[in-house]
Amino acid sequence: MVHPEVARVADDIASMETRGAATIADAVADALATQAREGDAADPEAFRAGMRTAARRLYDTRPTAVSLPNALRYVLNGMEGGSVEALRRSVVERATAFREDLDRAQSRLGEIGAGRLRDGDTVMTHCHSTDAMAVMEAAVADGKSLSAVVKETRPRNQGHITAEVLADLGVDVTLVVDNAAHRYLDEVDHVLVGADAVAADGSVVNKVGTSGLAVSARDRGVPIVVAAGTIKLDPATLTGRAVEIEQRDESEVIDPETRADIGDIAVANPAFDVTPPRHVDAIVTERGQFPPESVVTLMRELYGEADEPWRE
């Protein structure tokens, strides 16, 4: 049986109460640990089946952030032991290690990325990325004074979270509507975004609007930096699988009443888009920064085959 806490975590991810690729990964690892610790399995087989069911429940929440299946893989592939007690211990240890690594990776990539920012620089952001925020935080900790032009990021306005985080860090923040981005690019030194997935060819999947921002930034000669820990690398793309782009409910885009007044129209709400490697200057990970075309080497080194242990 899926523990109620696992169901709650899954519901929070689906409703975006819990959101952002790294935060989702952390939440699912913690949920698997809860399933292991508090599940009611009577024997090893039931324990393993319960873990797989819990993992599938978590997997089915949102399709794009690869950190989610990467977290499930890391925890489930470390499940071992001949008794329920041993299995339980292995899952809890593995989930704890995953969450600690995630935390360390974020601090490390922040320090690495901070090296790109100079005192007095202005950064443009899109959406809210904890990896990107780690870069800003590390730069501020280095004593750099920074400004930010923060895109509000329709339809869910995650830019408001970014604005609050950066203001708390002491960054001088200007919030702009998405359509004003091009107008402000002349005044910024870097575009800094996160990623939900990075494909083997170096394409970056992130909040819809990232690819248009990257095209505009290229046009203005502004470097585009993607802060993305290695859990964002999608090993399934090594064999040519495309990253699925989540389509969310149209009510996020338009009020149902207004829509009815307008008449017979279609509404589309893709949550993410794909920025090709030629529009990305650097991908900053905890293992260093890479030109997008070379992440494939790191992907091969860190991930084997993209198995799906929750399906066995």
Segment contacting ligand RUB by CB under 6 A, of 126-134, 175-183, 257-265, 278-286? 126-134
Query: What is the rounded distance in angstroms from the CA atom of residue 236 to the CA atom of residue 288?
Result: 22
Instruction: Give how many residues touch ligand RUB by CB under 6 A.
Output: 18
SS3 letters for the chain? CCCHHHHHHHHHHHCCCCCCHHHHHHHHHHHHHHHHHHCCCCCHHHHHHHHHHHHHHHHCCCCCCCHHHHHHHHHHCCCCCCCHHHHHHHHHHHHHHHHHHHHHHHHHHHHHHHCCCCCCCEEEECCCCHHHHHHHHHHHHCCCCCEEEEECCCCCCCHHHHHHHHHHHCCEEEEECHHHHHHHHHHCCEEEECCCEECCCCCEEEECCHHHHHHHHHHHCCCEEEECCHHHECHHHHHCCCCCCCECCHHHCCCHHHHHHHCCCCCCCECEEEECHHHCCEEEECCEEECHHHHHHHHHHHCCCCCCCCCC
Beta strand pairing status for 147-151 and 197-198? Answer: unpaired
Alpha-carbon torsion (48, 54, 57, 58), positive or negative: negative
Q: Which of 2, 10, 19, 35 binds ligand RUB (CB under 6 A)?
A: 19
Q: Smaller CB distance to ligand RUB: residue 41 or 271?
A: 271
Q: Which of 68, 127, 150, 282 binds ligand RUB (CB under 6 A)?
A: 127
Query: What is the rounded distance in angstroms from the CA atom of residue 154 to the CA atom of residue 61?
Result: 21
| Residue 162 to residues 130, 193, 230, Cα–Cα distance (Å) | 9, 11, 22
Among all residues, whose Cβ is closest to ligand RUB? 194
Segment contacting ligand RUB by CB under 6 A, of 87-95, 171-179, 190-198, 250-258? 190-198
Q: Which of 22, 198, 200, 226 binds ligand RUB (CB under 6 A)?
A: 22
Segment contacting ligand RUB by CB under 6 A, of 127-135, 138-146, 274-282, 300-308? 127-135
Q: Which of 32, 112, 117, 131 binds ligand RUB (CB under 6 A)?
A: 131
Q: Between 221 and 240, how does the x/- string for binding to ligand RUB read (CB under 6 A)? A: --------------------
Min CB(299)–ligand RUB separation in Å: 17
Q: Is 70 in the site for ligand RUB (CB under 6 A)?
A: no
Amino acid at 306: A
Min CB(158)–ligand RUB separation in Å: 5
Q: Which of 9, 271, 280, 295 binds ligand RUB (CB under 6 A)?
A: 271
Q: Is 23 in the site for ligand RUB (CB under 6 A)?
A: yes
Which residues are catalytically annotated?
127, 196
Min CB(193)–ligand RUB separation in Å: 6
Q: Is 194 in the site for ligand RUB (CB under 6 A)?
A: yes
Min CB(196)–ligand RUB separation in Å: 5
Q: Is 207 in the site for ligand RUB (CB under 6 A)?
A: yes
Q: Is 129 in the site for ligand RUB (CB under 6 A)?
A: yes
Which residues, numbered 139-168, are part of the site for ligand RUB (CB under 6 A)? 158
Min CB(78)–ligand RUB separation in Å: 22
Q: Smaller CB distance to ligand RUB: residue 5 or 273?
A: 273
Query: What is the rounded distance in angstroms from the CA atom of residue 19 to the CA atom of residue 39?
Result: 25
Kindly list the residues in this chain that would bind ligand RUB in the complex (CB under 6 A): 19-23, 65, 127, 129-132, 158, 194-196, 206-207, 271
